[in-house]
Amino acid sequence: MSVDDSSQAGEAAAEATTDAGAQQSSGPYVSEDGATMGRDFVIPGVDPAEPDPYRFHTGRRRDHGGEDAIEIIDLVKQFGRARILNGLNLGLPEDQVSIVLGPSGTGKSVLVKHIVGLLYPDSGDVLVHGESIPNMTDDELFEVRKKFGLLFQDGALFGSMNIYDNTAFPLRQHTDKSEEEIGEIVNRRLKEVGLIEAIYKMPNELSGGMRKRAGFARALVLEPAIVMFDEPDSGLDPVRTALLCELVREVHAEHGGCYLVISHDLNTARRISDFIAVLWNGKIVESGPKEELFDSENQFVSQFLSADINGPLAMD
């Protein structure tokens, strides 16, 4: 499709051009850091000759009305020649459930790994409660990780431990609580996620939905200020996904904190989130409160959030 006939795309392009500053009107695309696309890097799924891969990226940050718990600043990450994150900027609000949505392979999991310090940026910064994650020593990182509850794509339970021991694991690892205290917390958490009957079962005896709930219980035992779920809905049927979303909302309402959910499911986004950011080609297209993003006039955001087959994404 052509975008030349769209005044809105024209505006977006104008804004993106102003943003990029040194961006030329023709010739290969040059990033903010001076790297030339096609020569210094490629972006997966983008034609290296594309003059402006960010014509839809206004980078607009709609106000969420609170403080940011996590700030991502000009984050660049390249694997070999593949530049996955290319100057990503995003603020994730305190005490809200945020979701980062984007097509498969756009770097959502890579982004999460930077926030928890499992990957280091080529340039840029990640601040958690104002502290720079990439600049921490191993000891500082170990300490700050106690703030995080993590739920990876497959629940990532230890296959050789029953559900009780899986849930108790972070407490045994990170605290000097007695077994009695640990037992009390584990029971409370497993009850909260409806798994009290499965407490002595092994992970392979549970359904996919139960494993996710066990992973959620384990992510919560240290009462984390920040909870991250990478694809909590993958492999679940629609009803189990809806129930899991409801559980996440309930637990968040009870305990608060900054939650970050990664998904490409629109129903999950509608059910779970207060705040949405859309990631594409290594940058956030736009971010803001859920209702505003679902109403966005940005062509890419609107196509993605309405699952429209016509629009900028169809060009790929």
Ligand X SMILES: Nc1ncnc2c1ncn2[C@@H]1O[C@H](COP(=O)(O)OP(=O)(O)OP(=O)(O)O)[C@@H](O)[C@H]1O
Return residues touching Mg ion (CB under 5 A). Answer: 108-109
Task: Determine, following the binding rule CB under 6 A, whether residue 110 of this chain makes contact with ligand X.
Answer: yes
> Which range touches ligand X (CB under 6 A), out of 86-94, 99-107, 135-143, 199-207?
99-107
Q: Where are the alpha helices (DSSP H) in 175-260?
A: 179-192, 208-220, 238-255
Q: Which does residue 64 touch among Mg ion, ligand X, none (CB within 5 to 8 A, set by kind)?
A: none
Task: Please give the structure tokens belonging to residue 256.
Answer: 């608060």
DSSP string, 32-52: TTSPBBTTTBB-TTS-TT-S-
Task: Determine, following the binding rule CB under 6 A, whether residue 83 of this chain makes contact with ligand X.
Answer: no
Helix, strand, or coil (residue 42): strand
Q: Which residues pair with 85 in a beta bridge?
A: 77
| Chain mean position to CA 249 | 17
Which residue number, 44 or 208, has a Cβ lying nearer to ligand X?
44
- What whole-number distance in Å separates Cα of residue 102 and Cα of residue 279? 5
Q: How far apart are the first and last CA of the chain?
A: 10
Binder of ligand X out of 25, 26, 104, 204 (CB under 6 A):
104
Q: How many DSSP H helices and E strands does the chain contain?
A: 10, 11
- What whole-number distance in Å separates Cα of residue 233 and Cα of residue 12? 32
Which residue number, 213 or 264, has a Cβ lying nearer to ligand X?
264
Binder of ligand X out of 6, 15, 17, 44 (CB under 6 A):
44
Task: Determine, following the binding rule CB under 6 A, whether residue 109 of this chain makes contact with ligand X.
Answer: yes
* 23, HSE (Cβ side, Cα atoms, 13 Å): 20
Smallest distance, ligand X to C-beta of residue 175, A: 31
Binder of ligand X out of 49, 79, 197, 308 (CB under 6 A):
79
Task: Determine, following the binding rule CB under 6 A, whether residue 213 of this chain makes contact with ligand X.
Answer: no
Which residue number, 38 or 103, has a Cβ lying nearer to ligand X?
103
Task: Determine, following the binding rule CB under 6 A, whether residue 105 of this chain makes contact with ligand X.
Answer: yes
* 94, HSE (Cβ side, Cα atoms, 13 Å): 10
Question: Under rule CB under 6 A, which residues in 246-275 are in contact with ligand X?
Answer: 264
Q: Which residue is nearest to Mg ion (CB)?
A: 109
Q: Which does residue 105 touch among ligand X, Mg ion, none (CB within 5 to 8 A, set by kind)?
A: ligand X
Site residues (vs ligand X, CB under 6 A):
44, 79, 84, 102, 104-110, 264
